Amino acid sequence: MVALIWVSFFWGTTWLASKEGVKHMPALQLAAIRQFIAAGIYIAYFLYKKEVWPKGRQWKTIIILSILNFVLSNGLSTWGVKFISSGLGAIIGAMFPLWIVIINFFKGERISKWAIIGMVISFGGVCLIFYDYLADFLKPDFQFGIFLSVLATLTWAFGSLYTKKKAASFNPYFSLGLQMLLSSILLFAYSGATSSSVPLTEIPSESWWSIAYLVVFGSVFTFIAFIYALQHLPAEVSSVYAYINPIVAVVLGSFIFEEPLTIMIGIGGLVTLIGLFLVNKAIRKK
């Protein structure tokens, strides 16, 4: 249970760390540096432990997950909070179960009654949240941030479904390290090819502190706690973190960055999370 509490709180705070970091440097470069350092820690540990390396088709799974979960989902969500609040990014990030239902529907699966009810409730909650952001929708940067954040949830949903379909038999922690390493190489390559990076010496201390926090509490300790919780707690209990993360991000964002926290946003966020709970419940029953 301590692992679940750790995940619930610290993954919520990583939205704020990302927001602070991207204020001072390109978002995809920040994601690349974060993933590269975290990957180095994971891989160095398993090299020391002489862990068996993945073989054959296992590499295909690792490569696909590195693109879906880290290059796209983590990279795009980090980029997204450059243009929107950390709290709003966290709420959008929690909505990936809606995509899972939609994807499964187009694959021919029947949508349960509770999933439909949950989707309707979530949509209503999102409408309440965005009521206070209507004026911001006229700003191209805000629109772009919303687009990136929504796209990040879609790729995370595909990654989740692919993980379920291609459940690997090798060490999940080692796999995470390899996924992060491959994704960081791709992100570095993209940043270099598009000239969208800055020299390391020009990155201010605020961003380096953010990267350090994201590596330690976002990519290393919290991922370990997350996988531990998945392995030792019932699925319906271990998934509670997904509903607490946005609350942590919204509340702390209002205190630290003075992001808007109105009654409408509070009610809308609560309604959205209730809807997501019903959708998740329907998914797990299936």
pLDDT digits (tens, 9 = 90+) for 104-139: 888 777 878 877 888 888 888 888 887 777 777 888
CB of 268 closer than 8 Å to CB of 33: no
Cβ neighbours of residue 214 under 8 Å, at least 6 residues apart? 14, 17, 18, 21, 34
pLDDT digits (tens, 9 = 90+) for 4-44: 788 888 888 999 999 999 999 999 999 999 999 999 999 99
CB of 167 closer than 8 Å to CB of 230: no
**pLDDT confidence band for 167 (50 / 70 / 90):** low
Distance CA 47, CA 181 (A): 14
User: Can you give the pLDDT at residue 285?
Assistant: 63
Residue 92 C-alpha from the chain's centroid: 10
Segment 154-183 shows an average pLDDT of: 82
User: Can you give the pLDDT at residue 246?
Assistant: 84
pLDDT digits (tens, 9 = 90+) for 240-264: 677 788 888 888 888 888 877 788 8
Q: How large a percentage of the chain has pLDDT more than 70?
A: 93
Instruction: Using the predicted structure, report yes or no on whether residue 238 has a pLDDT greater than 60.
Output: no
Each as own residue / partner, the long-range contacts of residues 125-128 (CB below 8 Å, 24 or more positions apart, any chain) are 125/268, 125/269, 125/270, 125/271, 125/272, 125/273, 125/274, 125/275, 126/95, 126/268, 126/272, 127/268, 128/264, 128/265, 128/267, 128/268, 128/271
User: Can you give the pLDDT at residue 93?
Assistant: 87
Q: What is the mean pLDDT of the chain?
A: 85
The pTM score is 0.86
Q: Is residue 13 within a helix (H) or strand (E), and if so which, with residue range?
A: helix 2-22
**pLDDT confidence band for 215 (50 / 70 / 90):** very high
40-49, 95-104, 124-133, 224-233: least confident range = 224-233
Cβ neighbours of residue 27 under 8 Å, at least 6 residues apart? 18, 21, 75, 78, 79, 81, 82
User: Can you give the pLDDT at residue 213?
Assistant: 95
Distance CA 239, CA 229 (A): 9
Distance CA 101, CA 180 (A): 27
Overall residue count recorded for the chain in this entry: 286
In this predicted model, which residue has the larger pLDDT, 269 or 89? Answer: 89
In this predicted model, which residue has the larger pLDDT, 270 or 167? Answer: 270
CB of 30 closer than 8 Å to CB of 21: yes
User: What type of residue sits at position 103?
Assistant: I
**pLDDT confidence band for 203 (50 / 70 / 90):** very high
User: Can you give the pLDDT at residue 26?
Assistant: 94
